[in-house]
Structures are given as C-alpha cells and as structure tokens.
Amino acid sequence: MRIDEILSKKRTLSFEVFPPKKGAEEKEALLSTIEKLKTLRPDFISVTYGAGGANAREATEISGCIKKMGVEPLAHITGGPSSKSDIDRVLGELKKLGVENVLALRGDRPVEYEAEYCKYFPHATDLISYIGDDMCIGAACYPEGHIECQTLYDDIVNLKKKQDCGASFLITQIFYDNSYYYRLLHEAGKMGVTVPIIPGIMPLISAKNINRIKSMCGSAIPLDFRNMIESYSSNPTVMREIGLNYAVYQIIDLIAKGAPGVHLYIMNRAETATEIFGRLKNVFNELF
Ligand code: FAD
C-alpha cells in the first residue's frame, strides 16, 4: 500500500533499518530483528541505501523480504553518482518485488566534491522527477536546515520543490529539540508545503553517540539533556534509561501537538523499539 494513502487515514509508526554489510549471518540477524519489529505493528519499515548505491543489491533484497513478511517497505534510493540505467535497474527490481514506496535522496557528497559526482541527479528533486508517479515518493527534510544551505529559508524553498516534483510525504533528519521541528512545520507551511512531515527520532542511549550524531547530522542537543547524559556517561544502564525516556518525552510532545506519525531510527536494534513501544503502549494503541 502507498504510504501517502496510509497517512491520509492514520498516524504512522515506522522504523528504519540498514542492510547487512557482511554475509548470511548478518542478514539472518536483520530478518529476525524485522520479525520482532513486526509484532509492534509498524505502518512501514524503511531500508537505507549507500550514497553511491554500492549496497543496492542487499538493500533491494531486504525491502523485498520486508514485503514478503507482510510489512510495507520504504526503500531509500540515492541519486548521487548513479546513472539513469542504475536507477532504472533498482526501480525495476523494487517493482518486481512489489515495493510501492521509495524515499528519494541525493546522498552525501564526498568531502572533495567532484563536479562529475552528481552528473545525472544533482539533487533529490531530479531523482523525484525521474521516478515519476508510478511509485509513492517520499523525501528528506531538515528541521535545523541542511548543512549546504546558507539559510533555513533557502532550504525550505528547495523543500517546496521536492513537493512540486512529486514527493507526497517527508521524513525529517534526527533532532533532539522539538522546537526545530515546529519551526520547520510553520515555515514550510508558509511556503506552501502541505504534505505530511514525519518527525525522525533517534533515541540517544549511549554517551559515545553524542559526537557521532554531531558529525553525522549536526543536530543540536539541548543543554538539559546534555547535562543528564554527561552526568551519567560512565554508567551505560542509567544512560540507556535516560535516552529512552528522553525519546519517549519527545514522542509524546510531538503527538500532543499533532505530528502525523513517528519514524524511529533504531540502528537495527529491535529491543530499542520494543522498549519505547512498551513505555508508550497506550499512546500507540489509541492515537495511531
Ligand atoms: P537534496 O534535496 O538534493 O538537498 C541537498 C542540498 O541541496 C540542500 O542544501 C538543499 O537545500 C539543496 N537543494 C535541494 N534541491 C535543490 C534544487 N532543486 N536546486 C538547488 N538546491 C537544491 N543518505 C544516504 O546515503 N542513504 C540513505 O539511505 C539516507 N537516508 C536518509 C533518510 C532521511 C530521512 C534523511 C533526512 C537523510 C538521509 N540520508 C541518506 C542523508 C542524505 O542523503 C543527506 O542529508 C544528503 O546530504 C542530502 O540528501 P537530500 O536528498 O536531502 O538532497
């Protein structure tokens, strides 16, 4: 089923997984993770895709497995350095497997930008237009602005182009301060973005991840939360509890203010999703 259709009827709960890097053992572990996630009745599970399409085969295969397991997959695709025939091949495979939803992205550019890098698909908008309307297309957005944009305003102008090219829903980059998400909704709304914007939440359950998150996506960590993490960074069990509770707080606040769903970045850890679901069982059962 198309995700835009699901969103027109209800709030969505979704998870993001990444394809295995190594052989059969990792694949089996991921499939068992997906079986566990399925018991939480997600509306869809998204599958990440390497920036250069290097893991296209594995990513496509996992999307096909999710479909077979009876959950709706959302296959990420990055334009990046791909040629049109690379994209045709991946889309053809996905369609054969019954996948109806893709998240169209440009992908991160190499640090040393080469002019040739994004020859055919310099931006997600080019990929969205190329895919056309025979699939349901989602795209990425950035509550704190994309790193390459001078201002949030410029980034939202480009976000509106994603909608105009055919994206029918958006998923946000990770954020830890919900006010960035509300600001994005407000500003994007003023510029005519009307498609649902699903907030992306990643529970920060290990102090080691603070610097990783900063370098990966630059998300700001509110001072109160940072203080809690730093006070207990040497105690992993307390740290985990703090991170899960903070994610729960973010989700309740988002739902109370009308978010159209929640997308959880769980780093292939079913237990993280299960714990959050357990703490918010009635919220998910009654409000989703
Ligand atoms: P774009 O939309 O092309 O945006 C990149 C920059 O160009 C922005 O500054 C934007 O404002 C500007 N821009 C956009 N359109 C135009 C235009 N038409 N003209 C001029 N400027 C424009 N990366 C992966 O490699 N694999 C993944 O699976 C993956 N999944 C992700 C999922 C989500 C929900 C998010 C938020 C990000 C994901 N990323 C993934 C990271 C993403 O690839 C990077 O953030 C990348 O730098 C930008 O991708 P984009 O699709 O937003 O690019």
Q: What is the pLDDT of residues 140-197, one digit of tens each?
A: 999 999 999 999 999 999 999 999 999 999 999 999 999 999 999 999 999 999 999 9
Counting every residue, how long is the chain? 288
Integer angstrom CA distances of residue 31 from 59, 69, 100, 267, 287 = 12, 9, 20, 14, 28
> Which pLDDT belongs to residue 117?
67
Answer yes or no: is the C-beta of 108 below 6 A from any ligand 1 atom. yes
The reported pTM is 0.97
> Do 179 and 209 meet the contact criterion of CB atoms below 8 Å apart?
no
Residue 150 makes CB contacts below 8 A (sequence gap 6+) with none
Q: Give yes or no for residue 277 CB within 6 A of ligand 1.
A: no
The pLDDT of residue 68 is 98
For residue 106, the CA-to-ligand 1 centroid distance in Å is 5
Q: What's the pLDDT band for 209 if we cut at 50, 70, 90?
A: confident
Dig out the tokens for 288 from the structure. Answer: 């989703």
Looking at every residue in the chain, the average pLDDT score rounds to 94
Q: State the distance from the centre of ligand 1 to the C-alpha of 258, rounded, in angstroms.
A: 25
* Distance from C-alpha of 25 to C-alpha of 126, rounded to nearest angstrom: 37
Confidence label for 206 from pLDDT (cuts 50, 70 and 90): confident
| Pairwise CA distance, residues 77 & 74, whole Å | 10
- In this prediction, residue 263 carries a pLDDT of 98
Determine the residue of 102, 106, 164 to mutate for testing ligand 1's pocket, defined as the one with the most ligand atoms within 8 A of the Cβ atom.
106
Alpha carbon distance 247, 280 (integer Å): 11
Tell me, what's the pLDDT at 115?
57
Residues of the chain with pLDDT > 90, as a percent, come to 83
CB within 8 A of 24, min separation 6: which ones? none
Atom of ligand 1 nearest to the CA of 146: 9
The two tokens of residue 225 are: 């939360």
Nearest atom of ligand 1 to the alpha carbon of 76: 28
Higher pLDDT pick, 201 / 217: 201
**Is the shortest distance between the CB of 82 and ligand 1 below 6 Å?**
no
pLDDT at residue number 204: 94
User: Is the CB of residue 217 below 6 angstroms from any atom belonging to ligand 1?
Assistant: no
Gap between the Cα atoms of 280 and 277, Å rounded? 5
State how far the alpha carbon of 242 is from the alpha carbons of 29, 222, 235, 248, in Å: 27, 14, 11, 10
> DSSP 3-state assignment of 175?
coil
Residue 177 is classified by DSSP as -
Q: How many CB atoms lie within 10 A of CB 194?
A: 9
pLDDT single digits (tens) 124-142: 999 999 999 989 999 999 9
Given this model, what pLDDT does residue 116 score? Answer: 63
Please say if the pLDDT value at position 114 is more than 80: no
**pLDDT at residue 112, rounded to an integer:** 57
What is the residue type of 46?
S
Strand, coil or helix: what is 163?
helix
State the amino acid at position 226 in one-letter form.
Answer: R
Domain regions of the chain by residue span = 3-287
The per-residue pLDDT for 231 is 93
The answer regarding whether domain 3-287 maps to CATH 3.40.50.2300 reads no
DSSP string, 249-274: HHHHHHHHTT-SEEEEE-TT-HHHHH
pLDDT at 110: 67
pLDDT in tens, 223-272: 999 999 989 989 999 999 999 999 999 999 999 999 999 999 999 999 99
